[in-house]
Chains A and B, each alone.
Chain A
Amino acid sequence: MISFSNVSLVYPNSRKTILENLTFTVNESELILIIGLTGAGKSSFMKLINGLIPHHTSGILSGEIIVAGQSINQLKPGQLSGIIGIVGQNPLNGFVTDQVEDEIAFGLETNGIERSVIRRRVEEVIDLLGLQPIRKRSLSTLSGGEQQRVAIASALVMNPKVLVLDEPTSALDPVAAEEVLAIINKLVHDLGLTVIMAEHKLERVIHFVDRIVLVQGDGQVEIGLPQEIMNKSDINPPIVKVAKHLNLTELPLSVRELKRVTSKWQLPIKAIQRSAFRKSQSSVQVKDLSVDLSGKRVLNKVNLNFNTGEIVSVMGRNGAGKSTLLRAIAGGLNQFAGEILINGSDASKLTGKDLVSLIGYVPQEPADLFFASSVKGECEHTDSQNGLVAGSTEEILTALSPSIIINSHPRDLSEGQKLVLALALVLVTNPRILILDEPTRGLDYRAKDQLTQILKDVALNSVTVILATHDVELVAELATRVVVIADGEIISDGETRDVLTSSPAFAPQVSKAFSSQNWLTVADVIFADIKEID
């Protein structure tokens, strides 16, 4: 279906090679997963397939890529629109029209397909992707999962032979992510579609992909069956980590496969102790908080209490009110009913220095905080703004991540580096409360591990850390407490171990695999020291 022969790619004005002399073939109705660290070239790889590189974004390409018998070297992306459907990382950025049906029909319209055919095909994909209830809605009012499904529908409506998806679930809550992935799986199996997909959260996809392409970032690419790649690479989902620890000969890729192996094992050897939680004083009190945004009730009579040294993870579906809650605590909302007390004082009245010395807030897009033209500039500005000794911010930044080049432009940093820079900028004022809104979006495994370490260290200095995230595995590793919000109300609030093991939607892989135990992480399994019975 797709064949790369001796393909090399470099960007102009860059010494880094993205791909070097790559030769491989994707067979018809194969599901290929592309993995690699952020910035390694996954997106470039995907843009090559429909010729966006080099025709739309510049790039120096050698070798030949043939898709369904046609060479992309000669054809422009638009001429391939009937063969390749491409869904970008942020579907909202790629929407051309403003309404669901119009968006789905757009590609067919521009290709001059007859109206009767358009109508039939639009109906077909609406049924296939379950879009009937939202077909007349405006695109800007859709939730993240709905947007992703509309984007997939508008690619599928062209009857493509290949579907290319760039991180289709990175912005979605666990339930919405499962929906989207189930649809992709169905397309491959029922329609025989060839799918090429990039994804960081391996635990969600690895059990149904055929082959994995590991983009190393130095021009080298490894291609192989999931088991082979998992053996070689250290980018592993929890299940594989557990299997590697247990020295299993055949690596299991899904919870089911691991369960089959370990079902005859003796469990547990050592019981997990409840983490002895130090009694600490209360730092944030939320009393009867209700928020209305554009006529809709987003939060309804929320009562919460946060203590110093806690790491609290706020979870819930897209649009459940997580971001609003965090913003209200941080003092970013002007209109709400109820009371929010931070160390006894009203947060919404704080501004300037008083605010930053109490609360550190990292928004969903860390880049919103940046406005200087270099990392160094950002640091210097923060020093002078807060009356600190010159170099303080830079010191914190290098302590957090020594690899950041201080003269680079903030926008050129990888997602993980942007987050670290944002953290350095807010941590320098020693805030008592640190709030992060979906910090894991677009982060690879390495960056997530780094984030976990940083936040744990911060919390040790009796700072209250509050974060909103969809990433169950990260929560299992990091949080001491989980608050689940649904429709603006708190539906559960308790210790991480209790909340995560009690709900199938939020259970991490380890918890699913050893459902009789209260284990959450690979470390728990290692601690329990389980053995096979002879």
Chain B
Amino acid sequence: MNSATWWIWSIALAAAALRGGENLILIITILIFIFIVAKRGTDTLWGRSFNFALQIAISAMVIRFIFAVIIGTYLPGNVVFTLPQLQMPQLLAGVRIGGEVTEQRLLSVLDESLTFALIVIAFGAATALSSPIQIIKMMSKRLYLFGVTLIIAFSVLPQILASYQRVKMARKFRGEAKINLRNFNKVLTPVLEESLERAIDLSAAIESRGFGYSKKPTSYRAESFTFVDYLVVALSIYLLIFLPTLISTVGFSLGIPIFTLFAMVPLLLTKPMTVKI
């Protein structure tokens, strides 16, 4: 499937779920993203970056919950449990530290943090499922220098991570202290020098292979939209527009399975992108 289709699919699906408004739909959508990335993700660095997106989403949810329990304005309702409360001065009357934690408060925090998690995971999934180089090749037919810059940026990033790991280990063998803010520039020097060398090598390679000299580049893969791409885009947009209507007409118990089925269409119609080892 085209890289652009994956992006449209994941953004439309996230937006549809948000429009649907129910926490159950958000959770199902998050699970769909996780499942499809597990089945169709690539074994490149971008594919592996999905784990990072998951970590961000989970830690953001946890932090939000901790804050919501400890501080914030008072929301009346059924008390779940009570923490010892700090007495605030008159000036900060509206602010609460500790005290009663109500069901309403926990539910509203769940709403907020699920929304955030869904957006992060949707972007993570789109990155993991598509190839950045493919997108660059599509967009940069006329913008030669812009294309070269983007290719270098996307290729050097994984290398920066790898050389950071190596330099960190090399420091240990010179008996240096652990990396902190003060000696960070000493770590940065070898890492950046190496990525500069790599960037020069790569730009020489791109130049030698004639990137940007032909007015009309062609493509090896059938990158043009196929029937599958049209179908997935159409279904995603249908869900985006009509999900609330769908749920209100056929009801929740039927609406959810239809949503899930439509969202999973890419999985049914595509094969894994690369052979995992």
Contact = CB atoms under 8 A, between A and B. Distances in A.
Contact of A122 (B163, B166, B215, B220): B220
Contacts of B166: 363, 365, 368
Given A363-B173, A426-B173, A81 B220 contact: no
Contacts of B182: none
A386 B274 contact: no
A138 B42 contact: yes
A211 B204 CA distance: 27
Nearest to B275: A136
B228 to A, nearest CB: 18
Most buried by A among B174, B198, B211, B214: B174
A141 interface: yes
Nearest to A332: B169
Contact of A111 (B155, B208, B210): B210
Nearest to A164: B208
A80 B209 CA distance: 8
Nearest to A382: B174
Contact of B202 (A94, A111, A360, A369): A94
Interface stretch (B9-17, B114-122, B184-192, B251-259): B184-192
B220 A52 contact: no
Interface string B144-163: 00000001000100100001
A391 interface: no
A109 B217 contact: yes
Contact of A96 (B167, B202, B213, B274): B202
Given A78-B210, A88-B204, A93-B202, A371 B187 contact: yes
Interface in A356-397: 356, 359-361, 363, 365, 367-371, 382, 385-386
B23 interface: no
A361 B173 CA distance: 6
Nearest to B183: A371
Given A110-B213, A356-B174, A363-B173, A141 B43 contact: yes
Contacts of B216: 112
Contacts of A355: 172-173, 175
B218 interface: yes
Nearest to A333: B169
Contacts of A492: none
Most buried by A among B172, B186, B205, B277: B205
A367 B43 CA distance: 29
A351 B216 CA distance: 57
Interface in B123-167: 131, 133-134, 137, 151, 155, 158, 163, 166-167
A534 B210 CA distance: 63
Interface in A253-284: none
| Interface range, B side | 35 or more
A359 B218 contact: no
B210 to A, nearest CB: 3
Contacts of A47: 204
Contacts of B44: 98-99, 138, 140
B218 A118 contact: yes
B207 interface: yes
A115 B158 CA distance: 30
Contacts of A351: 172
Contact of A363 (B43, B170, B189, B219): B170
B189 A356 contact: no
Contacts of A27: none
Contact of B201 (A84, A94, A119, A331): A94
A115 B170 contact: no
A56 B210 contact: no
Contact of A113 (B134, B200, B212, B218): B218
Interface stretch (A100-108, A188-196, A311-319, A522-530): A100-108
A96 B205 contact: yes
Given A140-B45, A356-B174, A371-B189, A108 B213 contact: no
B103 interface: no
B220 A88 contact: no
Nearest to B200: A57
Contact of B209 (A81, A98, A136): A81
Most buried by B among A98, A99, A109, A370: A98
Interface in B217-240: 217-222
B204 to A, nearest CB: 5
Interface string A104-142: 011111111111001100100000000000001110110
Interface of A: 47, 50, 52, 55-57, 76-82, 84, 86, 88, 90, 93-99, 101-102, 105-115, 118-119, 122, 136-138, 140-141, 154, 158, 327, 330-332, 351-353, 355-356, 359-361, 363, 365, 367-371, 382, 385-386, 411, 425-426, 429
Which 5 pairs across A and B sit closest by C-beta, in order of nearness?
Answer: A81-B210, A94-B205, A105-B220, A112-B214, A368-B170
